[in-house]
């Protein structure tokens, strides 16, 4: 008799998850371990993944002859706790119909000027919060003093970061520039003082460990490309095989941040691994595809691939995908690569952005002799 996998469907906020529980079985366990989108929940002793990550029709064939899948729906204590954790925005009133229309007009304005989908989403999301904060005021009645009130009594009071505050300011300035009549003076808006933080960097040994623990060649290849070429997450997921020029050992990165094309170098060692990956997976369109052929790998699944790698490598740091890009730049600088070339490889418009890596490079600092040694 086949063991039963119980899929407990739970809604948390706007997302729906499956909590998969089953009697211990090596085959079932190994399959879930290979899922980049599944995480182990120690509290519920279950594998957890979003329902949108994979459909039941796709899941069942994977366990054919191994286990029977049944769906259930009963409350979980950990899920109930999450539901009770209200966010500051939960206490704001919903948008009026007129404000929704104003935001939709702004969205169309942004799209007509070819802003990226991600930028549009960030601006709209922050503006929704800002406009909900003033339920009794029309959009054209909001003044500069209201922004100060919002900054002090919503952003600062709830401990939001200066980068979030800056996103709000960007969205508001652009929003009111697109409007013909309002009491809001865009020119009087000041940005918050920017925090001077250094990029987080892994050592070469940590990067090597991170990559070596990944047995799945597809997962290893994705993380390898981000580090080896200094790619952003979206740049990796948008790559096609036409972007790989093996004879010149370069990769074309098309229409990345700021709608710019650039080329990055590729090592012969990386090309060998890339060919192994292609022979095994044979993607149809994108270099890395998800469960459906021809569709790009999801950002969420890529994040879970990294999370699994960190866990297996036993690296006790809050590593993100962007840490690999930071590490690439820092390691290039430490190996003697000119800062101007690093700027080109990363696709930075300003050299000042690239110069931040000089503050985390330890090559020169380690040569300084401490006066403590002379005591």
Q: Is 325 part of the annotated catalytic residue set?
A: yes
* 290 within a domain of the structure (yes/no): yes
Whether residue 321 sits in one domain with residue 294: yes
- Residue 223 shares a structural domain with residue 317: yes
Domain identity same for 167 and 242: no
* In-domain check, residue 267: yes
* Catalytic residue, candidates 68, 137, 183, 232: 232
Work out how many domains the chain is built from and give that number.
3
Active site residue 164: no
- In the set 132, 257, 262, 307, the catalytic residue is 257
Q: Is the full-model pTM beyond 0.85?
A: no
The residue segments making up the domain with residue 296 are 204-359
- Of 123, 176, 227, 357, the catalytic one is 357
Question: Would residue 372 count as lying in a domain?
Answer: no
| Residue from 219, 296, 325, 331 carrying the catalytic annotation | 325
Residue finishing a domain among 188, 218, 246 = 188
Distances (CA, A) of 352 to 151, 216, 236, 254, 263: 28, 38, 24, 23, 20
- The pairing of beta strand 39-41 with beta strand 250-253: unpaired
Residue 322 annotated among the catalytic residues of the structure: yes
Over its length of 375 residues, how does the chain's per-residue pLDDT go in tens digits? 889 999 988 887 667 888 999 988 888 888 888 777 788 888 888 899 888 778 787 788 888 888 999 888 877 766 666 655 667 877 788 888 999 999 999 999 999 998 888 889 989 999 999 999 999 899 889 999 999 999 999 998 888 888 888 889 999 999 988 877 788 888 888 877 766 777 888 889 999 999 999 888 999 999 999 999 989 999 999 999 889 888 888 889 888 777 788 888 888 999 999 999 999 988 889 999 887 788 888 888 888 888 888 888 888 888 889 899 899 888 888 888 888 888 888 888 777 777 777 776 666 666 666 665 665
Contact 230, 346 (CB under 8 A): yes
357 is catalytic: yes
Which CATH number belongs to the domain containing residue 144 in this structure? 1.10.150.130
Bridge-based pairing state of the strands 68-72 and 4-12: parallel
Q: Report the C-alpha gap between 201 and 308 in whole angstroms.
A: 19
Note whether 221 and 343 are same-domain residues. yes
Residues 259 and 151 in one domain: no
**What burial class does residue 129 get, using C-beta atoms within 10 Å of its C-beta: 0-12 exposed, 13-18 middle, 19+ buried?**
buried
In this structure, the answer to whether residues 127 and 142 fall within a common structural domain is yes
> Is residue 71 domain-shared with residue 114, that is, in the same domain?
no
332 belongs to a structural domain: yes
**The one catalytic residue among 204, 208, 248, 322:** 322
Q: Which residue has the tokens 């390691």?
A: 331
């Amino acid at each position: 008799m086949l063991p039963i996998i119980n899929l407990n469907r739970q809604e948390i906020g706007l997302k729906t998850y499956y909590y998969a529980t089953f009697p211990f079985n090596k085959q079932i366990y190994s399959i879930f371990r290979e899922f980049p989108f599944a995480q182990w929940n120690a509290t519920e002793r279950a594998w957890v993944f979003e329902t949108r990550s994979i459909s039941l029709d796709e899941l069942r064939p994977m366990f054919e002859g191994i286990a029977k899948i049944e769906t259930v729906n009963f409350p979980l204590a950990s899920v109930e706790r999450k539901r009770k954790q209200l966010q500051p925005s939960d206490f704001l009133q919903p948008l009026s119909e007129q404000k929704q229309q104003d935001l939709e007009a702004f969205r169309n304005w942004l799209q007509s000027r070819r802003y990226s989908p991600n930028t549009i989403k960030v601006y709209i999301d922050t503006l929704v919060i800002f406009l909900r904060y003033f339920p009794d005021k029309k959009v054209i009645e909001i003044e500069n003093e209201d922004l100060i009130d919002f900054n002090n009594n919503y952003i600062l009071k709830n401990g939001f970061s200066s980068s979030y505050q800056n996103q709000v300011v960007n969205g508001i300035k652009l929003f009111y520039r697109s409007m013909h009549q309002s009491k809001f003076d865009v020119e009087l808006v000041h940005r918050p003082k920017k925090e001077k933080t250094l990029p987080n960097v892994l050592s070469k040994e940590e990067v090597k460990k991170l990559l070596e623990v990944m047995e799945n060649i597809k997962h290893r290849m994705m993380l390898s490309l981000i580090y080896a070429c200094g790619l952003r997450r979206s740049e990796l997921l948008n790559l096609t095989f036409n972007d790989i020029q093996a004879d010149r050992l370069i990769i074309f990165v098309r229409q990345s941040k700021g709608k710019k094309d650039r080329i990055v170098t590729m090592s012969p060692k990386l090309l060998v691994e890339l060919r192994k990956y292609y022979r095994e997976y044979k993607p149809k369109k994108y270099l890395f595809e998800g469960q459906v052929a021809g569709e790009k790998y999801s950002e969420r699944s890529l994040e879970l691939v990294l999370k699994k790698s960190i866990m297996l490598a036993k690296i006790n740091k809050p590593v993100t995908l962007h840490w690999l890009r930071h590490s690439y730049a820092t390691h290039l600088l430490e190996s003697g690569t000119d800062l101007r070339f690093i700027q080109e490889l990363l696709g930075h418009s300003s050299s000042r952005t690239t110069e931040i890596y000089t503050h985390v490079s330890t090559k020169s600092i380690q040569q300084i002799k401490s006066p403590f040694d002379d005591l």
